[in-house]
Structure 1
Amino acid sequence: MTNTDCLTFWGTGDSMGVPRVYCSCEVCNEARTTGRNRRLRSSALLETDAGELLIDCGPEWRTQMERLGKKSIGHVLITHAHFDHIAGLPEWADACRWLREQGHVYAPSDVLLTLRRQFPWLENQLAYHDCSGGMEWGRWSIRPWKVCHGKNGYSYAYRFDKRAAGPAADCCSWAYCPDAINLSEEQKVPLRGLRLLVLGTNFYEEHADKEGRSVYDMVEALGLLAEVQPQRTVFTHMSHGVDVRVGYPLPTAVTLAETGMKLTLES
């Protein structure tokens, strides 16, 4: 898919997903019935001429695979070693064992170290690849950088740059940043010059104590977008504080991710 690489959202929820098992709010109840707000933990699939690359592997990995009728997947890129982004790795490894396949995990070295401590048996089936210095995926150059994750320390975001064919062609660039808040000026630099930014926003406007928070809300994110000016933005990693049926006052170039949404990454 040289000119039609695409990104498909497998999950768009925050760390608890929607509905929350304990909650009877309007959004959670709608998620249990008509289901537009039903959100599995955040992950997305990049499809290119080099093959499929899944970004994050959360606790609903099996459900996400079943929904698409997929039996196997070979490559996963991890943003950080929090439960909602890595809890599917043991199931994936077990599937690789039964299929007699080897999976490949890509992450910065400190993330891989955490995975080794938490799941020391995974490398029986999964090969780990340190992408601290970046990696190539077909014609995409992928570069990680640390971003502030508030009370949760830090996570990694990834910038994807693809040079289109021809000497005068533009570079198509996009970034995936699901878990971040209060980015420093240095951390904002890779967000400039993007055609697409996928950004985590837990609420439209969160009123919790800022010292206890870990992800932007949409109001704060709009301030960030005014600075870095991506051509298009999709908000993901949303909690039960977001109702996709509501017409939030967002610019036309900003949309909310929903499960199964597919974006073409034009070159």
Structure 2
Amino acid sequence: MRITFLGTGTSQGIPVIGSKHPVCLSNDSKDKRLRVSVLIEWDNYAYVIDCGPDFRYQMLRTNCSKIDGILFTHEHSDHTAGLDDIRPFYFRQGNIQIYAHERVIESLSKRFDYIFESENKYPGAPTLDVNIIKNKPFFLNDLLVIPINAMHHQVQVFGFRLNNFAYLTDIKTVAEPEIEKIKNIKVLVINALRIEPHISHFNLEEALNFIEQVKPELAYITHISHLLGFHEEVEKSLPEGVFLAYDNLQITI
């Protein structure tokens, strides 16, 4: 299984528009972060978790010409706003599979009503095959996926475990039974927004405590804001086996 980090930034990305913060002015490519998303590939399959407003560019810069489906963690714009840009895939492949909580599907059907229309549909709109996720395992072709239920302040979010890889973003609280699903996993990806506490995201301390609780072999931090600091400096401060993810990073499990 190959994982490509399409984006590792928070909802505004880095640099933030108009910001003079030193991290936003950094020339280090690892300090430039698109909105958070990953591409997961195995055998001849390719799935994306979340498609935010940078989705088109992310697909272009990774030379991704095929996706078998999209899994959504939740409905916020930085995770869903790129849905219209699945059209080139649809024109080549036909209907695109999407997987999400029923609440997320309802939100998408309002924001992208022209995609979800069943009558008099605009011919240029893509067509989706909708799969409702509940908190129970399901398959992507031959691969078992275990949802991880969590809270993003008052918004429910799903993380996902795929074999020995777990991806959780926009997490603030996770119940113990959900943590048990990913304990001692090989690779964990978890969000850490900044140094200071935040109402709906782990800060760095909370993320490191969560990593210590899960005890993965390796952990990668994502959904990073400029307020976490420079990539190079923060990376040096992390415990052994914990790394800052960055855009275009690829790992193989």
Rounded Cα–Cα distance in structure 1 between residues aligned with 2:77 and 2:53: 8
Q: Report the equivalent of 2:177.
A: 186
Kindly indicate whether the alpha-carbon contact (under 8 Å) linking 1:108 and 1:144 is maintained by their aligned counterparts in 2: no
Structure 2 residue corresponding to 1:120, chosen from 104, 107, 113: 113
How far apart are residue 217 of structure 1 and its match? 1.2
Distance 1:97 1:226 in 2: 42
What is the aligned counterpart of 1:241 among 227, 230, 233? 227
Structure 2 residue identity aligned to 1:118 = R
Superposition deviation, residue 50 in structure 1: 4.5
8 Å Cα contact 1:102/1:126 also seen in 2:
yes
CA distance in 2, matches of 1:192, 1:136: 21
| TM-score normalised by structure 2 residue count | 0.88
1:11 match: 7
**Take 1:36 and 1:229, find their aligned partners in 2: how far apart are those partners?**
26
> Given the superposition, is the C-alpha separation of residues 7 and 14 from structure 1 closer, same or farther in structure 2, using an over 3 Å criterion?
same
Q: Give the AA of the match of 2:40.
A: L
Residues of 2 paired with 1:13 and 1:100: CA distance? 29
Tell me which amino acid in the other structure corresponds to 2:231: V
C-alpha displacement of 1:121: 2.2
What's the CA shift for 1:187?
A: 3.2
How far did 1:52 drift? 0.4
1:73 Cα deviation after fit: 2.9
Residue pair 1:50, 1:138 contacting (<8 A) in 2 also = no
**Alignment of structure 1 residues 174-253 onto 2, 5 Å:** 174-203=165-194, 205-207=195-197, 210=198, 213-242=199-228, 243-246=230-233, 247-253=235-241
Shift of 1:125: 1.6
CA contact (8 A) 2:5 2:245 kept: yes
Closer, same or farther: CA 69–128 of 1 in aligned 2, 3 Å? same
Query: How big is the alpha-carbon RMSD for the aligned residues of Structure 1 and Structure 2?
Result: 1.9
| Structure 2 spans left out of the alignment, 5+ residues | 117-125
Number of aligned residue pairs: give it.
Answer: 241
Indicate the SS of the match to 2:98: strand
Pairwise CA distance, 1:185: 2.2
Q: Distance in 2 between matches of 1:174 and 1:158?
A: 8
1:147 equivalent in structure 2: 150
* Structure 1 residue 89 corresponds to structure 2 residue 75: no
Q: Which stretch has the larger CA shift, 231-240 or 33-42? A: 33-42
Range with bigger deviation, 181-190 or 237-246: 181-190
Unmatched runs of 5 consecutive residues or more in structure 1: 162-172
Distance verdict in 2 for CA 1:187–1:134, change over 3 Å: closer
CA displacement, residues 118-149 of structure 1 (integer Å, 9 cap, x when unaligned):
22222352221123233223442102132011
Return the offset for 1:106.
1.4
Supply the distance in 2 between the matched residues of 1:191 and 1:179 (Cα, whole angstroms): 17
